Amino acid sequence: MRLFLGSAGVSALPEFMDGRRVIYVPTAGKPMADGGGGGESRAALVDLGFEITDLDIDGATQDEIRGALDDADGVFVEGGSPFFLLQAMRESGFDSVVVELVRDGLPYVGMSAGGVVAGPDLEPLSTTSNTSLGPRLESTEGLGLVNLVVFPHYDAPGRASEFPDVLLRFGSRFRLLPLTDAQALVVDEDGMRIVASE
């Protein structure tokens, strides 16, 4: 299994990804006023030489999702609202398809919300993200690809000051990993490590 979970920076992606055909999932940014910052990430991926195919999973079918991912070298799940993203994953069936394919070797790149949903549960983010953006969610359980919850944008204004409260409330039940916008967690055959990725 190969995972690249970050906040914003993608500079380390070329070393992580063998191929260049990437399915880009912008869905988490749909309810956000700024689109979740996806424009910058998408442009950076193109500048790094990746071939991008967009896949909005909100309203997509499992067949559409599997058809897109079957020929990809990796999937890039963009940031935005983790709760809206998880809702779209569940309703489209993206969750079950992507977990199956990632466990079979498809590289998964998750930025911000895309990284958070890869963990065991979104509950620790309920204090910092708007849960009402996922009104039909019956559970905050994540994809379970890693056994920790990424806490992204640790270096953003006010973000570090929020972390002690999150740790106090949820640290006994979840392993929490703060990441700055210039860091990413890489999981591969060599284990788990934090890398610089601006």
Active site residues: 112, 153
pLDDT digits (tens, 9 = 90+) for 121-163: 999 999 899 999 999 999 999 999 999 999 999 999 989 999 9
Mutual angle of helices 94-103 and 62-70, in 10-degree steps: 30
> Cα separations (Å) of 8 from 55, 136, 160?
19, 27, 16
- Give me the domains of the chain, ranges plus CATH numbers: 3-196 (3.40.50.880)
pLDDT per residue as tens digits for the range 168-191: 999 999 999 999 999 999 999 999
